[in-house]
Structure 1
Amino acid sequence: MAVISMKQLLEAGVHFGHQTRRWNPKMAKYIFTERNGIHVIDLQQTVKYADQAYDFMREAAANDAVVLFVGTKKQAAEAVAEEAVRSGQYYINHRWLGGTLTNWGTIQKRIARLKEIKRMEEEGIFDVLPKKEVALLNKQRARLEKFLGGIEDMPRIPDVMYVVDPHKEQIAVKEAKKLGIPVVAMVDTNTDPDDIDVIIPANDDAIRAVKLITAKMADAVIEGRQGEDAVASVEAELAATETQADSIEEIVEVVEGDNA
């Protein structure tokens, strides 16, 4: 059974690609057709590749991989942070700082500074410092948290990187490739897929599409770490909050809606 259904993909708008004039010809084999100047992604392939990505992420997590979720554009920022945290992993959802991976030693020093400022506040040192100095420290902490908060506790450079829109995150992808870190990514019709190890052909501009795919990748990590029952229990909790149907007819209506 597919980890994401065709119906879920359609409802989230995963099939909408970019304008035909903005396409990357290397994505041709993942495109179903063109409508009104927009490429339509072949969702049968998305289903297949999402399954492969899920298996890859699950196996990596089962082997204690550190996973970094990356998505800095506004459509991705919230989902990337939420799903990384939910799966016990790490994220970057604001601007990617050049050298985040390839200059990890320097990044660790900035993270250490962030932790030092937090410790100073916790130990009451802020209470005895001049207000101007405290204001400067708070400003520094806010900036460090914005860019590095999601990797503050990351123990080492990641073993796997999941990316929303590798076209935008080209620097991150290049750093990962330089270090031999496999990249799993949502790849839209305007993107060169050659640098991506595990491709998920998908609309990476719609919030619902990003949330759907990213949540499934987080589920894969959770299953890899804790087993299939952990994901099933979460899904059961979500299902319990939904309206219950009393008959077969109502079940069909709830599941299929206007498509019934």
Structure 2
Amino acid sequence: DDKLLSEPLSHPDFFNVKELFSLKDLFDARVHLGHKKGCRHRFMEPYIFGCRLDQDIIDLDQTMQHLQLALNFTAHIAYRKGIILFVSRKRHLNNVFEPHVAIRDAAKMNIPTVGVVDTNCNPCLITYPIPGNDDSPTAMELYCKLFKMTIIRAKDKRKQTEVFEELR
């Protein structure tokens, strides 16, 4: 069982999450479109490529790197049969500029978090922030599809590894 859990850690991309999406996929899903410049959170400035017509443009190269890290982390949790909780914010129920109570509590308890962080949000409490558009339905659909594919891939890899270990 030790080998089963340690093997994925010896490879930087054991689950091949890099092949799940491309920069073009992110662009086509409008992930690069941030909020108006006036809404920008100062901690999001390193993730901003530029500004066009007063709208922040998110650096998709950084989004790719952060999304790959987040997917890889999620895959490791799924592979180890961990619990993954998905939380969505309904804008009309929460103040956009306040951190979600679940995020704040997770940070206090050292529970790792993954989150899509738009240009108007503070990324500091998120363990694996993904700079990207959180308003576009196509972007949200892409994120959900990628996390679903990653979790399925990790669980399948676990089954394959268990079968292989049983045959030894």
Shorter chain as denominator, the TM-score bin is 0.7 to 0.9
Partner residue, 1:127: none
Match status 1:195 vs 2:125: yes
Match status 1:173 vs 2:90: no
Length-normalised TM-score, structure 1? 0.50
* Structure 1: distance between partners of 2:109 and 2:19: 32
* Sequence identity percentage: 32
Aligned residues: 142
Structure 1 residues 221 and 169, CA gap change in structure 2 (3 angstroms): farther
Q: Which amino acid aligns with 1:193?
A: P
Q: Using the TM superposition, give the Cα deviation of residue 34 of structure 1 relative to its aligned residue in structure 2, in angstroms.
A: 0.1
> Over residues 151-182 of structure 1, what are the superposed CA-to-partner deviations in whole Å (9 max), with x where a residue is unaligned?
xxxxxxxxxxxxxxx85662110121222211
Q: Out of 11, 17, 21, which is 1:4 matched to? A: 21
Q: Using the TM superposition, give the Cα deviation of residue 65 of structure 1 relative to its aligned residue in structure 2, in angstroms.
A: 0.8
Partner residue, 2:31: 14
Partner residue, 2:85: 68
Unmatched 5+ stretches in structure 1 = 75-93, 97-165, 231-260
* Structure 2: distance between partners of 1:222 and 1:204: 23
Match status 1:29 vs 2:31: no
Q: Out of 208, 212, 236, which is 2:142 matched to? A: 212
Q: Using the TM superposition, give the Cα deviation of residue 68 of structure 1 relative to its aligned residue in structure 2, in angstroms.
A: 0.5
Structure 1 residues 224 and 18, CA gap change in structure 2 (3 angstroms): same
Unmatched 5+ stretches in structure 2 = 1-17, 161-168
SS across alignment from 1:189: coil
Q: Select the structure that is richer in helix.
A: 1
Q: Which amino acid aligns with 2:39?
A: R
Length-normalised TM-score, structure 2? 0.76
> Over residues 177-203 of structure 1, what are the superposed CA-to-partner deviations in whole Å (9 max), with x where a residue is unaligned?
222211100010011111010011100
Partner residue, 2:157: 227
Structure 1 residues 3 and 35, CA gap change in structure 2 (3 angstroms): same
Structure 1 residue ranges (4+ consecutive) displaced by more than 3 angstroms after TM superposition: 166-169
Structure 1 residues 51 and 193, CA gap change in structure 2 (3 angstroms): same
Q: Which amino acid aligns with 2:79?
A: A
Within 5 Å, give how 1:82-231 maps onto structure 2: 170-227=100-157
- Greater C-alpha Rg: 1
> Over residues 82-136 of structure 1, what are the superposed CA-to-partner deviations in whole Å (9 max), with x where a residue is unaligned?
xxxxxxxxxxxx969xxxxxxxxxxxxxxxxxxxxxxxxxxxxxxxxxxxxxxxx
* Structure 1: distance between partners of 2:98 and 2:155: 30
Q: Which amino acid aligns with 1:224?
A: A
